[in-house]
């Protein structure tokens, strides 16, 4: 039985990857510092859970030495664009130095493959030449978060060329779904739903005309699983190819939840792009991946999760 190490496996996306790996009969080791994840997301007793930070080089080394993972699914990250703007050094410590700790250990212990979570939402800059945007478009991230993710991709290529470490890098669009953390700055769907279920005021940042490609978390987890066998040493967009602005998202969630208040509008967030929609035809052709969930269906699933969790 093969062993998979999932960094950030107690988090939103990582815990769904863990679930699918268990369904595929992998031994699963999770490394997570619980800064944004929750231990309750790892409910299967067969999962080996290690609480710790990927910036801790000695801990990373010990994890690889003891468990000898065949595959690494690297989802642990500093995920806030606006925090990266405020604290670029912190972003780099986690997203660059932490990733390097894992890559060095993966190469040393002869891992079969390294599956890396990148970002399609920030990778192509403010004004890519075409929408939906493909991997052939120039990568020109403008935020420290995007720069650190791009650096991670470049290091993957270096470790492949220098040490023969195989990889797949997945550039996600805006991921939503059950277990998303509704606190802080990330995850507009989770933030809106929690406030709507509690009948609290909802604030939209800026004018609400920020367009995003929303992809359901189970579809994203599936892309990770498919990357074990497919997508050797390449980068793939993972999105739906459809754009929805925040005002439209708010209206759709109002219908689902029965929320009867109008949105309030606040200042825009630093670092936010106006528009991001991904072309995922390369993932379709080479990973054999397609999104299965329409936005309306995924939002209903997410609403059911949060309403149950909040006891409403």
Task: Tell me what pLDDT residue 271 has.
Answer: 66
**Burial group, residue 101, by CB count within 10 angstroms (0-12, 13-18, 19+):** buried
Number of domains in the chain: 2
Question: Is 312's pLDDT higher than 70?
Answer: no
156: exposed, middle or buried (C-beta count within 10 Å: 0-12, 13-18, 19+)?
A: buried
Clarify whether residues 225 and 299 are in a common domain.
Answer: no
Same domain membership, residue 39 and residue 16 = yes
Total-model pTM:
0.96
Please give the radius of gyration of the chain, using alpha carbons only, rounded to the nearest integer: 19
- Average pLDDT, integer, range 289-304: 98
Q: What is the pLDDT of residue 305?
A: 96
- Average pLDDT across the chain, whole number: 95
> Which sign, positive or negative, has the C-alpha torsion 294, 298, 301, 304?
negative
Say if residues 170 and 181 touch (Cβ distance below 8 Å): no
**What is the pLDDT averaged over residues 87-108?**
98
| CATH number of the domain where residue 189 is located | 3.90.25.10
Same domain, 106 and 162: yes
Residue 181 is predicted with a pLDDT of 87
288-291 contacts, C-beta under 8 A, 24 or more apart:
288/226, 288/230, 289/219, 289/222, 289/223, 289/226, 289/236, 289/238, 291/215, 291/216, 291/219, 291/239, 291/240
- Assess whether pLDDT exceeds 80 at residue 247: yes
Beta pairing, strands 211-212 & 244-245: antiparallel
- 126 and 264 co-located in one domain: no
Q: Encode 147-199 in three state secondary structure.
A: HHHHHHHHHHHHHHHHHCCCEEEEEECEEECCCCCCCCCCCHHHHHHHHHHCC
Q: State the pLDDT at residue 14.
A: 98
pLDDT at 215: 98
Q: Which residues contact 76 (CB under 8 A, 6 or more apart)?
A: 7, 8, 11, 14, 31, 32, 33, 54, 94, 98
Q: What is the pLDDT of residue 82?
A: 83
CATH at 42: 3.40.50.720
Angle formed by the axes of helices 12-23 and 217-226, nearest 10°: 50
Q: Confidence class of residue 231 from pLDDT cuts 50, 70 and 90?
A: very high
- Same domain (yes/no): 50, 26: yes
* pLDDT(296) > 80: yes
For the segment 222-243, the average pLDDT, to the nearest whole number, is 98
Interval 226-240 mean pLDDT = 98
Report the pLDDT value the prediction gives residue 277, as an integer from 0 to 100: 97
**pLDDT, tens only, 100-142:** 999 999 999 999 999 999 999 899 988 888 999 999 999 999 8
Please tell me whether residues 54 and 89 are part of one structural domain.
Answer: yes
Catalytic residue among 26, 124, 145, 216: 145
| pLDDT tens profile 34-71 | 999 999 999 999 999 999 999 999 999 999 999 999 99
CA distances from 14 to 37, 41, 195, 276, 282 (A): 9, 9, 24, 23, 23
The per-residue pLDDT for 310 is 77
Shared domain for 191 and 267, answered yes or no, is yes
Active site residue 145: yes
Range of the domain at 201: 176-211+243-278+294-309
In whole angstroms, give the CA distance from residue 68 to residue 312: 44
Do 304 and 203 belong to one domain? yes
Identify the residue with better confidence: 192 or 81.
Answer: 192
305 and 157 fall within a common domain: no
Same structural domain, 149 and 207 = no
Domain shared by 167 and 101, yes or no = yes
Which pLDDT score is estimated for 309?
84
């Amino acid at each position: 039985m093969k062993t998979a190490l999932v960094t950030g496996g107690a988090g939103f996306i990582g815990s769904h990857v863990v679930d699918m790996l268990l369904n595929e009969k992998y031994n699963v080791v999770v490394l997570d510092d619980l800064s944004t994840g929750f231990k309750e997301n790892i409910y299967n007793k067969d999962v080996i859970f290690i609480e710790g930070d990927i910036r801790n080089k000695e801990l990373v080394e010990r994890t690889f030495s003891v468990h000898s993972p065949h595959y690494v699914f690297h989802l642990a990250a500093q995920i806030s664009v606006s925090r990266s703007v405020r604290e670029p050094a912190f972003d780099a410590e986690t997203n660059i130095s932490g990733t390097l700790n894992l890559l060095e250990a993966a190469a040393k212990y002869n891992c079969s493959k390294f599956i890396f979570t990148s970002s399609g939402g920030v990778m192509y800059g403010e004004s890519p030449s075409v929408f939906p945007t493909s991997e052939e478009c120039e990568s020109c991230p403008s935020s420290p978060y995007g720069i650190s993710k791009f650096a991670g991709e470049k290091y993957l290529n270096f470790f492949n060329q220098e040490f023969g470490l195989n990889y797949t890098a997945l550039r996600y669009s805006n991921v939503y779904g059950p277990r998303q953390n509704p606190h802080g700055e990330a995850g507009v769907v989770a933030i809106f739903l929690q406030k709507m279920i509690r009948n609290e005021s909802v604030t939209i940042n800026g004018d609400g005309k920020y367009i995003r490609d929303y992809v359901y978390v189970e579809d994203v987890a599936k892309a990770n699983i498919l990357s074990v066998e497919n997508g050797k040493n390449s980068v793939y967009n993972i999105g739906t190819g459809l754009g929805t602005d925040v005002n439209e998202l708010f209206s759709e969630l109002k219908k689902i939840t029965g929320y009867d208040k109008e949105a309030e509008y606040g200042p825009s967030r630093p670092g936010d792009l106006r528009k991001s929609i991904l072309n995922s035809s390369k993932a379709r052709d080479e990973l054999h991946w397609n999104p299965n969930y329409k936005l309306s269906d995924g939002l209903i699933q997410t609403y059911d999760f949060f309403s149950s969790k909040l006891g409403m």
